[in-house]
């Protein structure tokens, strides 16, 4: 779009200049050249009236006078009587005038160039045609004018190119800043260059980006502080239950403990999510064997239905976050899917692929695009969970420059695929 805009601005400048040149050329031809010809015609007519002999003079005398008039002039000149009889001629004889077109001594177009018609007071007709070299059909003034216009067009075209490109280049930088902000980089800003409308737009974008960053940071800080502060009353509730466990029915006590565990897990997930949001990329760059890490996490679950396979791949990242990512994937498969559960690590070029596949009934097709959103629970699901497990999986993957997608969703198989750089 911006490149098309760049060419449109550039062509608009050149088109405006070309239109201006054509208008000036038309005005020069219509006004300047006509005035010049009219002035020349008046001078020639006045010379003819002063020099030509009377109409009843001999043809030799009139021929001599006509030659005197055109001395030093490159012009074809013919003199006709009132009844259109050729009386004298200098240069190439011209045909008699067309009385229908020359009733008032007006100019008549005689191809291949202009022929002047003048009727003298005694009724005689004088016809004149400027001579010119056959290989130069245009007058010198016309050639000079066309050359000047072409030179002006070239100069303006060369000068307009960097101007139009500078405008669109700043728009391209602004577009790149908007795209960076849309991808989640709240620190994205653009340089403000100049004092025109584009500079004002860039300044407005920077101001809006600053306000958005402040609002998001304030929201993250509030969420993190609120989650942290919930730990204190949660601890008091747990202590109160422990002190009164002999007075509470066992089933009721187990239900309360389960609720507290879920609340504690939710607070922990929110705090972890806030810490991940606080930085765009991971600051830890330890070498981690992803296959070994996955095997260790799967060994935590006393379940023989989990199969770990693949190849040892060393990745750089935060081992705590990567371990949490694998744990959430396995817990999600055990909680919402069905055994067996397959965990595989595959190296694909410069990318590593972690896949976790369960053999449950899958999820509704409409939920595929929202499964990684926070606090999303599938309709009819009674397996529990905080609703933040897969959301954290995607955040951790993105934190390491990767992606998280649903690779397969069938009636007997559901696969989550994580891919990020080796």
Residue 367's CATH number = 3.30.565.10
315 and 417 both lie in a single domain: yes
d(CA 279, CA 272): 12
- Residue 415's domain comprises 286-421
355 and 410 both lie in a single domain: yes
Out of 65-69, 322-326, 387-391, pick the least confident. 65-69
269 and 321 both lie in a single domain: no
Is residue 372 assigned to a domain?
yes
pLDDT, residue 310, reads 93
Q: Which of 258, 277, 296 is the last residue of a domain?
A: 277
Count structural domains, the chain.
2
267 and 297 both lie in a single domain: no
Is residue 204 assigned to a domain?
no
223 and 331 both lie in a single domain: no
Is residue 354 assigned to a domain?
yes
Maximum distance among all alpha carbons in the chain?
Answer: 153
231 and 295 both lie in a single domain: no
For residue 246, is pLDDT > 80? Answer: no
For residue 37, is pLDDT > 70? Answer: no
332 and 390 both lie in a single domain: yes
CATH code of the domain covering residue 249 = 1.10.287.130
Q: What pTM was estimated for this model as a whole?
A: 0.52
257 and 300 both lie in a single domain: no
392 and 343 both lie in a single domain: yes
CA 321 to chain centre: 38
Q: What is residue 417's three-state secondary structure?
A: strand
301 and 379 both lie in a single domain: yes
pLDDT, residue 105, reads 45
CA 259 to chain centre: 52
339 and 372 both lie in a single domain: yes
Is residue 234 assigned to a domain?
yes
For residue 138, is pLDDT > 50? Answer: no
Q: Which of 224, 242, 277 is the last residue of a domain?
A: 277
Tokens of 218: 């304030």
Is residue 391 assigned to a domain?
yes
pLDDT, residue 411, reads 83
Tokens of 377: 């629970």
For residue 393, is pLDDT > 90? Answer: yes
225 and 271 both lie in a single domain: yes
Is residue 17 assigned to a domain?
no
Q: Are 315 and 352 in contact (CB under 8 A)?
A: yes
- In angstroms, what is the C-alpha Rg of the chain? 47
For 219, half-sphere exposure in the C-beta direction (CA atoms, 13 angstrom radius) is 8
Over residues 130-148, mean pLDDT: 60
d(CA 230, CA 221): 14
Torsions phi, psi for 253 (to 5 deg):
-65, -40
Q: Are 292 and 323 in contact (CB under 8 A)?
A: no
For residue 303, is pLDDT > 70? Answer: no
Cis ω for the linkage preceding 340 (within 30 of 0) = yes
């Amino acid at each position: 779009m911006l490149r098309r805009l760049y060419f449109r601005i550039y062509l608009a400048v050149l088109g405006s200049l070309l239109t201006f040149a054509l208008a000036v050329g038309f005005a020069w031809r219509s006004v300047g050249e006509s005035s010049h010809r009219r002035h020349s015609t008046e001078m020639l007519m006045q010379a003819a009236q002063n020099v030509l002999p009377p109409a009843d003079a001999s043809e030799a005398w009139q021929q001599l006078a006509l030659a005197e008039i055109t001395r030093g002039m490159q012009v074809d000149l013919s003199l006709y009587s009132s009844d259109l009889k050729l009386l004298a001629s200098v240069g190439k004889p011209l045909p008699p005038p067309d009385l229908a077109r020359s009733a008032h001594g007006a100019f008549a177009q005689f191809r291949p160039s202009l022929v002047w018609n003048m009727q003298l007071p005694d009724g005689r007709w004088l016809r004149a045609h400027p001579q010119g070299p056959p290989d130069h059909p245009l007058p010198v003034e016309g050639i000079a004018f066309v050359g000047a216009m072409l030179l002006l067009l070239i100069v303006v075209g060369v000068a307009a190119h960097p101007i139009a490109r500078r405008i669109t280049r700043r728009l391209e930088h602004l577009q790149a800043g908007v795209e960076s902000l849309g991808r989640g980089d709240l620190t994205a800003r653009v340089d403000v260059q100049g004092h025109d409308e584009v500079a004002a737009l860039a300044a407005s974008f920077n101001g809006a980006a600053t306000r958005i960053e402040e609002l998001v940071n304030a929201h993250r800080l509030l969420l993190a502080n609120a989650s942290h502060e919930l730990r204190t009353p949660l601890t008091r509730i747990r202590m109160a239950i422990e002190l009164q466990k002999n007075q509470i029915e066992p089933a009721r006590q187990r239900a309360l403990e389960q609720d507290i565990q879920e609340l504690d897990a939710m607070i922990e997930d929110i705090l972890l999510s806030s810490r991940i949001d606080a930085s765009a990329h991971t600051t830890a760059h330890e070498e981690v064997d992803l296959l070994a890490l996955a095997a260790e996490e799967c060994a935590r679950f006393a379940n023989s239905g989990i199969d770990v396979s693949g190849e040892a791949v060393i990745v750089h990242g935060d081992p705590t976050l990567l371990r949490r990512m694998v744990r959430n994937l396995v817990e999600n498969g055990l909680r919402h899917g069905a055994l067996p559960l397959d965990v595989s690590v595959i190296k694909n070029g410069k990318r590593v692929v972690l896949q976790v596949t369960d053999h449950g009934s899958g999820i509704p097709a409409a939920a595929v695009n929202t499964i990684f959103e926070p606090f999303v629970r599938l309709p009819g699901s009674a397996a529990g969970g905080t609703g933040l497990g897969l959301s954290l999986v995607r955040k951790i993957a993105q934190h390491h420059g990767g992606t998280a997608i649903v690779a397969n969703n069938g009636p007997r198989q559901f696969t989550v695929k994580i891919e990020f750089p080796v």
